[in-house]
Structure 1
Amino acid sequence: MTKNNTGKIVKRTIIILSLLVIPFFFVAESATPNFDYISVPDTLKTISPDAKHTIEAQLVTTVLTRYHYNRVPLNDSLSALIFNKFINQLDGGKNYFLKSDIDEFSKYKFELDDFLANSNINFFFDVFNVYLKRVSERMDYINKLLEREFDYSYDEYFVIKRDSVDWPKDENEMNDDWRKRIKNDALLYKLNGKDWDFIKSTIQKRYKNITKYLFQYNSEDVFQLAINAFAETIDPHTNYFSPITSDNFKIDMSLSLEGIGARLQVEDDFTKIVEIIPGGPADKSKQLKADDKIIAVAQGEDGEFEDVIGWRVNDVVKLIRGEKGTVVRLLVIPAGSDLNAKPKEVKLVRDKVKLEDQAAKSNLLEIENNGQKFKIGVITIPKFYSDFEAQRNGEDGKSTTKDVRRLISELEQNNIDGLIIDLRNDGGGSLTEAVELTGLFIKDGPVVQVRNSSNNIEINKDPDPSIVYNGPLAVMVNRFSASASEIFAAAIQDYQRGIIIGENTYGKGTVQNLIDLNMFTNRKNMRLGQVKLTVAKFYRINGKTTQRLGVKPDIELPSYFLPEEFGESSEPSALPSDEINKLNYEKYSDIQKLLPELIKKHNERTINDPDFQYLIDQIKEYRESKNQTMVSLNEAVRRKQKEADEERKFQRENELRKKKGLKLLDKGEVPDEKSDSNDYILNESAKILSDYILLTVG
């Protein structure tokens, strides 16, 4: 995020194909199979750096080593990390390079620092050209594999956790890996009723598309990969944008809210949803969520699905975007699903998300606890926004703080007993708004500290001595609450002004600025890219940082995501957590003293709550799926497993519906997620706040 804009947690990088095993059950079946060999150029092109890349590499190296928050020295240790990062970007699944290739590349593992210091980037291009050659060899082999159907009666396994295997020592070992990989792709289709003609044509089409997009890479693409291997080794939020990526980034910023209202990222060949934009078609449908994987896209009510596995994210976005009012259909593997899961179809009507759809909103919850009735006001904040353009023009534009101030006034007219600020899935926004919003709940004092690379510390304080709301307060967060959300939640927690409820937050406590490299040169005929650079860190008023640590809730609720799997702490190059001096501030209460009793009441209530037990079962199943390292390639074994998984999910869903008094599903019936949705996390949070009210007010 920039100094006044905490930004989004999504990393924007080009990620090359790694072709890890994934479930494929899509694409409309045609009457006549269309077999189409995967074709590669007769003569592979060799990609070389452009003349300007020498100058650009020198500028990027200077910016990264001199102006980054950490001032990281360019030495052999960093060289080894850059080497590993670049190889992983190209072939993290160990699917293409042979061990002999890696051994040859490794001769230069500790020399990349010297190469970069001298603006020599040939190594990266040489490695990429070997990569293109290996990919073309794999495509030739896939054509041979698909000449006849596989025998699924053998007891053999395919390793899906590729970090546990070594690079193939020779072509025979590589071929055996790919035979099992393609056999698994085919078996997944067969388990869902597809015949061999369909399976063959679909797999050929998929890898033809992957090859097509890969061989469109040019010198600028490879340079961006190389420099990002350098930049992201220093810090995951430090990136290089080529000129065309910079243009697309600007377009994305202005048009990203058109279409379905979701931000996408490529990971292991999946186009994964990383954020649902509040108020957009995806959000309103209640059928999509973060970590869902889009595997195919179709246009209109009856258009054929187009397989998008292995596509670049920009090309997938082009398929999904379209005119307002038109229909787009997605085939999605739901977050947490195992390899045998059947994807669901989601139909959405494209629309443009308006500013008012993202604005803070309120509602009133009426609950009963311990024989008493409570009115709990809820204010949901999708992002920390401010109309800077209006402010520059002297106009009274919208802002988070203004809207929340108004919503509090409206809720208090209903005589609310307590207030919940819902920051779930709020990825950040304006730092100023995070500070001013905190000021609505405290009289005065510091809110957050910001330290730059020169160790200068700026203290951001509440600018308004008045308190807008002084009643019982709770703040809801989850793993997708980041940056500005964490600043607000941390300040409320440090002042003990309210109870923090939910999941540990993301842990992004850094500040980024965008640097245009064109400002360093006067060559009008040479267009350079931009560097997004980490320049500062946030610290709480108690001296601790949210970096890596996030904000740990006072009352923690179940979460799908482990810190080592998602969030800042999952990033190897993320800046470390540390501490600075604590500031002077006065606490508003002693919530910590009440936490044991609040947690006890919460546990007693949820141990028999069907929604909570359903959630815990889903999380357990998700973790088991994530821990799976290999899959059987025996059809009978896999079919038995698939049927058992489907039956277990069916019975679990109906058990929940029975306990809640909902209509039971028939076999094969898909639940209406929108009509059956119930925000039990919000309801439980309201009950926790009412527990607090009973303990403090009576």
Structure 2
Amino acid sequence: MFSLKTKLVTYGTAASVVFGIASYKFLETDGALRDQKNEVLTKVLMQGLSSAHYSPERLDDNFSKKAFNLYLERLDYNKKFLLQSDVDQLAKYETQLDDEFKNGSFKFFDLSMSLFHKRLKEAESFYKEILDKPFEFDKEETIEVKPEKLKFATSPAALKEEWRKYLKYQALARVADALDTQQKSDSAGSKEPKKSMTEIEADARKKLRENYDDLFKRMSQLENEDYRSSYLNSFANVYDPHTEYYAPKEKEDFDYEFSGRLEGIGALLQEKDGLIKVSEITPGSPSYLQGELKPGDVILKVAQGNQAPVDIQGMRIDKAVSLIRGKKGTEVRLSVKKVDGTMKVISIIRDVVVREEGYAKSLLIKGGPKTLGYIHLPAFYADFKNAGGRNSGKDVAAEIQKLKQENAQGIILDLRNNGGGSLQDVVDMVGLFIKSGPVVQVKSANGPAAVLEDRDPQVQFGGPLVVLVNENSASASEIMAAAIQDYKRGVIVGSSTYGKGTVQQFFDLDQVLPASFDAVKPLGHLKLTTQKYYRISGKTVQLRGVTPDILLPDTYTYLKYGEKEQEYALPFDEIQSAKFNTWNSPNFSVEKLKAASKNRVSTSPTFSLINQSALRLKERTENTTRSLKLSTYLAEERRTQEESKKLENLRKNIPQLEVAGLKQDLSKLVGDTAASARFEAFTKNAKKDLYIQEAVAILKDGL
């Protein structure tokens, strides 16, 4: 399972939060100034956490042990670098980290970095030596793939053996893929010369060597400062999983994800063999409009306006990106080696780059006497920094208006994999579907709950509504689903949601410290959990999520997942219900819809196979020992592929939905090949989506 970064945030000042620390006389040498910056940063974080967190922690030995374990887990999660003797050496600080945190000391951190970098060099020699020799795939041996079940190696020799198995397992996967590809080519009548097993195995090791050379090069370029956020978040995450420190660059990336816009040139870059190469140009961006920068071009130097260019060959990609990004209206000059080998200096004026795929979009669903609307919302995005910036509440309102103009009589709002976002936008969005009333209750640790209400009596859409959710629907998505469910305004369909019932607020650490601290700025931001939110019924989604009215089989149905699986998550509780009136829709009976859906799902071969796949995934998750013998591995892969192929074939035979773009949207696609390609992919996926199809059937039952 991948990790999910959920979010429900508000932006504000730190006026009510005590961040006061003693004044400093800052030293001018780089090393001394860096140490003082670390000390200031740690102390200001401690003050913020202690004074403003929803549930402040007591800084004692127990707190220290929790932070120690979190940090160690993140520093070497797969246990492929540190030895048990290193851990024992670090463990001397296990009950002292609370004191280090209070005093702004980094002794433990510095020791951990010294040990880690030493072991990093040893591991580099391990993988190079191991990948120089062929693997034996006919030998009976196994590997444990779940890091939590592993122990730190007791000697360099034992660690090298762990690396051997680790690399062999990855090589095994590559060999299996190559054999599968070759078999398919043979079946298709390909005349390509067939590779021997020896050649396939050698190719697998060669590609692995290239990958690990790149990985270790990137890791060797990292400095202690790059690990600092992880260290500080080991303290912050003892408070709860969503309280985090963001270094300046990390906050910039968060803002881009949250608002869907940044200021730059709109080129996606990748680093290979020390060169920064353009991999993609964002449609509509400054690079796209300027027209000279192309995928495949290598950027050699970067200059700001008329300043001298900076050579970025061999530079870390994040540092190269920071040179290329910049304020709207400023010039950046790129010295570029084109694909044909020619050299060129390209001047680009930076502007706002918009990530269109992150915004709300809609389709019409036809194929019956009544037209339905489908809205896909990937996040509750908002642009707090720009008055005219886009936000999800207004965008969904606009999508609803377009759907109404084309006579959509029911709407599916798709919140699957929507990790949350702006609290205000979810309040506004619920208001589009109800007359007026409470949407959510938010409560600080002390004092009564505040009820956030929709005060607009206008209902933008009063027809039948289905909200699609899954286990990755979190935070603001859960508020939306819970409110619709409590009002009985629509039907919630899918799988139980993530279970995040907390609210975070960002504090700019530069703003909370006076000008006398300018020498150590920028410091970054602290995202603090300051409130819990509750349904209008008084229940919370914390840990438990929102249970849909109509449950559908899902690949992750039987896996342990969500907020309840996170370390140090805040507990579940309930408060008093707010006063509200449920929606009056006598023709939209949830029980009847549930019965009809259950009948369809129980007779669906596709849903049945999805359930079988979910059980199989659960089995693989629980049994974490894997064979390193090729024949055993291939047998397991064949079994998995057969199940996957069955599901794929069933989905191919499902009648596709008849979907169409809205007139306003289609008119904007004329002449824009990139936007047209994105739209085509969007419609293609929607047509084949089994869950959208069931949502359509549910809506039709209710119309």
Task: Please give the TM-score of this superposition, normalised by the length of structure 1.
Answer: 0.71
Corresponding pairs, count: 572
Structure 2 counterpart of 1:217, from 194, 219, 222: 222
Alignment partner, residue 118 of structure 2: 133
Runs (4+) off by over 6 Å: 46-49, 256-262, 278-281, 315-318, 590-593
- Structure 1 residue 356: Cα displacement: 6.8
Residue identity (%): 33
Aligned positions of 1:580-595 closer than 5 A: 580-589=575-584, 594-595=589-590
Alignment partner, residue 525 of structure 2: 530
2:80 paired with 1:87: no
Give deviations 1:93-148, integer Å, cap 9, x for gaps: 22222223223322321221122222222112212211222222222222332342
Q: Distance in 1 between matches of 2:587 and 2:140?
A: 56
Structure 1 counterpart of 2:232, from 223, 227, 235: 227
Q: Is the 8 A contact 1:610 1:656 kept in 2?
A: no
Q: Please, which moves more after superposition, 216-225 or 249-258? A: 249-258
- Structure 1 residue 417: Cα displacement: 4.4
Alignment partner, residue 417 of structure 2: 425
2:689 paired with 1:679: yes
Alignment partner, residue 98 of structure 2: 113
Q: Distance in 2 between matches of 1:64 and 1:469?
A: 42
Q: Is the 8 A contact 2:557 2:614 kept in 1?
A: no
- Structure 1 residue 209: Cα displacement: 2.4
Task: Please give the TM-score of this superposition, normalised by the length of structure 2.
Answer: 0.71
2:584 paired with 1:579: no
Aligned positions of 1:290-439 closer than 5 A: 300=296, 354=354, 360-366=360-366, 373-385=369-381, 392=387, 400-405=392-397, 407-408=399-400, 411-412=403-404, 416-439=408-431
2:641 paired with 1:642: no
Q: Distance in 1 between matches of 2:469 and 2:691?
A: 11
Structure 1 counterpart of 2:504, from 509, 512, 516: 512
Give deviations 1:600-641, integer Å, cap 9, x for gaps: 211211223344334334434443443341221112222333
Q: Is the 8 A contact 2:464 2:490 kept in 1?
A: yes
SS in 2 for 1:523: helix
Q: Is the 8 A contact 1:503 1:553 kept in 2?
A: yes
- Structure 1 residue 526: Cα displacement: 1.8
SS in 1 for 2:412: strand
Q: Is the 8 A contact 2:558 2:615 kept in 1?
A: no
Q: Please, which moves more after superposition, 224-233 or 181-190? A: 181-190
Q: Distance in 2 between matches of 1:581 and 1:544?
A: 8
Q: Distance in 1 between matches of 2:317 and 2:559?
A: 25
2:84 paired with 1:99: yes
Amino acid at match of 2:461: Y
Q: Is the 8 A contact 1:568 1:574 kept in 2?
A: yes
SS in 2 for 1:491: helix
Q: Distance in 2 between matches of 1:312 and 1:591?
A: 62
Cα distance, 1:317–1:553 mapped onto 2, change above 3 Å: farther
- Structure 1 residue 576: Cα displacement: 2.1
Alignment partner, residue 152 of structure 2: 167
Amino acid at match of 1:221: D
Q: Is the 8 A contact 1:224 1:240 kept in 2?
A: yes
Q: Distance in 2 between matches of 1:280 and 1:422?
A: 26
Structure 1 counterpart of 2:167, from 182, 187, 200: 182
Unaligned runs of 5+ in 1: 7-45, 265-277, 282-297, 302-310, 324-350, 663-671, 694-698
Q: Pairwise CA RMSD of aligned residues?
A: 4.2
Alignment partner, residue 496 of structure 1: 488
Alignment partner, residue 457 of structure 1: 449
SS in 1 for 2:447: coil
SS in 1 for 2:518: coil
Alignment partner, residue 551 of structure 1: 546
Q: Distance in 2 between matches of 1:65 and 1:376?
A: 51
SS in 2 for 1:524: helix
Structure with bigger helix share is 2
Q: Is the 8 A contact 1:387 1:399 kept in 2?
A: yes
Structure 2 counterpart of 1:481, from 456, 473, 476: 473
Amino acid at match of 1:213: R
Q: Is the 8 A contact 2:145 2:625 kept in 1?
A: yes
Q: Is the 8 A contact 1:496 1:591 kept in 2?
A: no
Q: Distance in 2 between matches of 1:5 and 1:560?
A: 36
Cα distance, 1:106–1:661 mapped onto 2, change above 3 Å: closer
SS in 2 for 1:195: helix
Alignment partner, residue 213 of structure 2: 208
- Structure 1 residue 400: Cα displacement: 4.6
Q: Distance in 2 between matches of 1:250 and 1:469?
A: 31
Cα distance, 1:49–1:569 mapped onto 2, change above 3 Å: farther
SS in 2 for 1:50: helix
Q: Distance in 1 between matches of 2:87 and 2:606?
A: 50
- Structure 1 residue 222: Cα displacement: 3.2
Aligned positions of 1:551-630 closer than 5 A: 551-561=546-556, 565-589=560-584, 594-630=589-625
Cα distance, 1:562–1:68 mapped onto 2, change above 3 Å: farther
Q: Is the 8 A contact 1:5 1:431 kept in 2?
A: no
Cα distance, 1:374–1:619 mapped onto 2, change above 3 Å: farther
Q: Distance in 2 between matches of 1:434 and 1:245?
A: 25
Aligned positions of 1:270-309 closer than 5 A: 300=296
Cα distance, 1:386–1:174 mapped onto 2, change above 3 Å: closer
SS in 1 for 2:517: coil
Cα distance, 1:178–1:674 mapped onto 2, change above 3 Å: farther
Q: Distance in 1 between matches of 2:558 and 2:568?
A: 15
- Structure 1 residue 379: Cα displacement: 3.5
